[in-house]
Amino acid sequence: MNSSIEQKTRVGVLNDYLSVDCVIFGFDFNQLNVLLVDRVMVDELTGKELFNDLTLTGNHIYEDEDLDEAAARVLFDLTGLQDIYLEQFKTFGAPDRIKRENDRAWLAANGRDPDKRIVTVGYYSLLATDKVTLEWKGRNVRWTPVAGVRDLAFDHMDIFQEALVALRKKLLREPIGFELLPEKFTLSQLQRLYEVILGVELDKRNFRKKVARMKYLVPLDEKQKGVAHKPARLYNFDRDLYELNRKELLDFAI
């Protein structure tokens, strides 16, 4: 446990009816992953495991915390991850969102009334898995392939699925993927990034036609080194050019 963790350890009153849930997507060149937490409930008398399932990284918020602050703190507490950009995407508050037996038992065991509605504010984020180190803080938090997520506790399956839709929509509209690539990258790497996040296979020729229109994607006078195959050209994402290009959306303005 490092000093920054201790700095963030806090006391205070938790709000019983308000939580945040973070859907943390982790990219690697093989697959898209999501950060899940093991939830294990044990019979206090017998020590027998009653159930063992998975949740998103989430928790209740402190009374003196803002929503964004709570999301960052919850994520940090569970994983040690800091300074992660978290995007609030939707709030979930159906009166019956906590209806399953495991969820009711879990809440009761944690001193909460399972009949009381808990509203949760959903956040998502996208990281490169190899750029982060997870610190397990008593509970098991781990990357799970998105394609393999079958069931989650509470309504976390809905939250996860809506976050995935929001992430994919954003990728098709904004250049959010480039931070996951090396500073200089090949078009094959870029294509793989889109394929992994969108969960589709892309046709190489069509993909290259599309990216040729992205003016902020700058071909460099440089090629890959130390590869067995024919070295490919390297590219660079120019954020200034992107911002300029984005303003062109409005360039019809006087």
Cβ count within 10 A of residue 150: 8
What distance in Å separates the CA atoms of residue 74 and residue 78, rounded to the nearest whole number?
6
Smallest distance from a second copy to CB 223, Å:
24
Q: Cα–Cα–Cα angle for 121, 164, 93, nearest 5°?
A: 25
Q: Considering beta carbons, is residue 41 or 67 the nearer one to a second copy? A: 67
Smallest distance from a second copy to CB 214, Å:
12
What distance in Å separates the CA atoms of residue 29 and residue 181, rounded to the nearest whole number?
10
Token pair listed for 75:
């994520």
Q: Considering beta carbons, is residue 117 or 215 the nearer one to a second copy? A: 117
Is residue 53 classed as helix, strand or coil in its secondary structure?
A: strand
Smallest distance from a second copy to CB 15, Å:
7
Is residue 72 classed as helix, strand or coil in its secondary structure?
A: helix
What distance in Å separates the CA atoms of residue 59 and residue 61, rounded to the nearest whole number?
7
Smallest distance from a second copy to CB 92, Å:
8
Q: Considering beta carbons, is residue 19 or 55 the nearer one to a second copy? A: 19
Q: Considering beta carbons, is residue 129 or 191 the nearer one to a second copy? A: 191
Applying CB under 8 A, the residues found at the interface with a second copy are 15, 17-18, 61, 63-67, 88, 90-95, 117, 119, 121, 172-173, 198, 200-203, 206-207, 209-210, 249-254
Instruction: Determine contact, residues 188/232, Cβ cutoff 8 Å.
Output: yes
Q: Considering beta carbons, is residue 8 or 247 the nearer one to a second copy? A: 247
Smallest distance from a second copy to CB 8, Å:
18
Which H helix or E strand runs over 70? helix 67-79
